Structure 1
């Protein structure tokens, strides 16, 4: 076995171990939330601080735009269309894994939300059949972000930068959900943990077999174009509905 093959097998094993670790951490957090409820001190404190100091009209607009990167009505169609396009562009293995990943993340997020039935914060607690834990946005966003990051070639000078970029993106998406007041801190953390577990298990499965001819340029170009088109279409036609959904019409 060559050194390169051993390195790939080792990295693939790390993806599997990482997925298991993040899923265990998610289960541990879910037990805490279910046992103690969402009214943990840090949850309540952060929700009050954000609501009193940062819940402005401008920041709410920005938060809605950032939230599009995890919105199921944007991301799921984006991934499905991209996957079908890649499938017919001789990127079948990548297409199947990308499609399967988002289905796995969506099914787990939906099932766990409706099993744990954790109420949302404040006025959103009264929305019927709308539960908080884990954040659906964060599960979807984390899953495809982590999976895509594993496709980028590893370079020593770039590894730390990649980690920083991933962390910044996760923080921004998390803040958008907190600023809109629809989630507790534990919801977004749980979403990150579960989404990361999904992304890593997707990477583990993808790298089990060599994939020659992987066209990353085509992947990211297609994904970006489809996302831009769908997000602009969605936000243009449903902006008023989004404003009402997040009760932003009550702000001055």
Structure 2
């Protein structure tokens, strides 16, 4: 991969028309992904909002950009307000418009602004950080197709981490973008009030049977070998067998990943 860095974002080229835009200076190590087609581009999530990701996408493409939201948590919608076309799953439309009920701005700021090791942009004030809210341009449903012109994306509704969480399959390159459903290095979290452990496991099982060439989670390790999906299948079976698929059963560790209920 060719790597280009600026003070906050790290841009990594996955292939000639696919880029990861990462925020390694924050404890969540968030990745957003820019996919270029012939007619338009897709930006899967817009990052933390600590810095403006549009400064980066403007340098990578002149194509019109469609923002595809994996889910409406603050670390994935930070620069949504910079783009004209925003898509979100219908189950989280209200979250995007009004915010997540019961999640205070103080809680969001605490999580967003702790353990920052990178150089934040001039003008960033953690005490004034406010997550994006606004109306989406369109709503996503399971099975939707998004055509970028010579590049077709499939939408998979994969609830559990949140009610309207989605994964995106790039059919032409066999890349699977898993958002917060699956990643490595830190636990896959399903213990928040808005999570559903049963749905999370069902969603993990669903993606585990997909034939893909590469997996890209929204945090930590960039690029995961799809052979891990066999381990996901085995983990799903084990968690069900042990009858621990519910809130409060704690951390469950496997060879390559872990899940916290």
TM over 0.5: no
Identify, as 1 or 2, the structure richer in strand. 2
TM norm structure 1: 0.28
Larger-gyration structure (1/2): 1
